[in-house]
Amino acid sequence: MKHNQDINGFDQYTIAFAMLAAIFLGTAAPAAAQDIALKKYKIDSDHISVSGISSGGALAVQLHVAYSSIFKRGVGIVAAPPYFCGEGDVMTALSNCVQPSDDKKLNTAAFVEKAKAWSGQSIDDVGNLADSKVYIFSGAKDTSIKGGVVAENRAFYGNFTAEKNIVYKNDIPAAHAMVVDKGKTPCDAFEEPYINNCNFDLPGAMLKWIHGDLKPRVPSIPANLIKFNQDEFRGKTRDSDAFDSTAWAYVPSACKSGEECKLHIALHGCQQGQGFVGDKYVRNAGYNEWAEANNIIVLYPQVGPSGQLGTPTQNPLGCWDWWGYSGTEYALRNGAQVSAIKKMIDRLTDAK
């Protein structure tokens, strides 16, 4: 990825993130460090899944594809582009995968061929995706990520799993936000913490589609939301992998007591990590109530601003890596963020 300077003295990365800043707004407030170690629990390996919004949705897809043998249950994708859409370049990512011109169509067939070429080598065998459940959501009033971009996830996954396993929902008048059925933020608003009341329980819909019949949600228990040391799972510096020093996990009472539990990874979007919104996302995104009722541990990894301005590593908005700021392997098993989250799963499941 070349680092070019334009005629006005602004490099392409500064321009790119000025564009992103116009899409994702927020103010940063650093989180306090914690030293609690993530523990192991009794996890049903057939019920591990992942979901995410925006850049978190893109990483959810990368995790699902790269480690399909682990996330075979399925994935929830909220307002995010398909696998490898950014092709390792921030300008390509912004021009093709955020708000492309009306006459621009993604070359999803090329992303499919990449996944097939990497299958069984740098990513798990794509055959593992055959029975995965895929839930795709695009808000009808989302002006940040075009609906046509999000819809390409349908085309991508259609090459690996049956159409009956894919849900595509785009009829809720939501802005670029996690959609829930509570709270004061209007459905079409675009404001922190980007959790909007649309009278629709999107986390519940995703979890039920992926994991099957679930018991009705119950109130979450605040003490079951724990903050743990995330530093021990990282393999690179914060400037390159963007991980915050701490992260969160919701551990239902039954899971604490030793009962077998499911596991779900929930990934925030840009400017939605704890450095920007504190614990609002991990407490209010709508997952914990379903988790408590259905013995689902929810892992909330955290990233924040990172990298050096004016270089390919810059990530001032605290986005997950879906264009390559953490390295060329970002969409593969060895990717800095993908592999670190795999280590967290290994700890939770006591994998050897």
Residues tagged active-site: 54, 142, 176
80 CB contacts (<8 Å, ≥6 apart)? 52, 53, 54, 55, 56, 57, 58, 60, 61, 145, 150, 153, 322
Residue 305 phi, psi dihedral angles, 5° rounding: -60, 145
- Nearest 5°: CA angle at 339, between 334 and 345? 150
Site of tokens 């696998």: 83
Rg over alpha carbons for the chain, rounded to the nearest Å, is 19
End-to-end CA distance of the chain: 36
Instruction: In whole angstroms, give the CA distance from residue 292 to residue 290.
Output: 6
Tell me if 55 sits within 8 A of 80, measured CB to CB: yes
| Measured distance CA(299)–CA(285) in Å, rounded | 13
Pairing of strands 225-229, 195-197: unpaired
Q: Where are the beta strands (DSSP E) in the chain?
A: 43-53, 74-78, 133-137, 166-169, 178-180, 195-197, 225-229, 246-250, 261-267, 296-300
The tokens describing 3, both together, are 């680092």
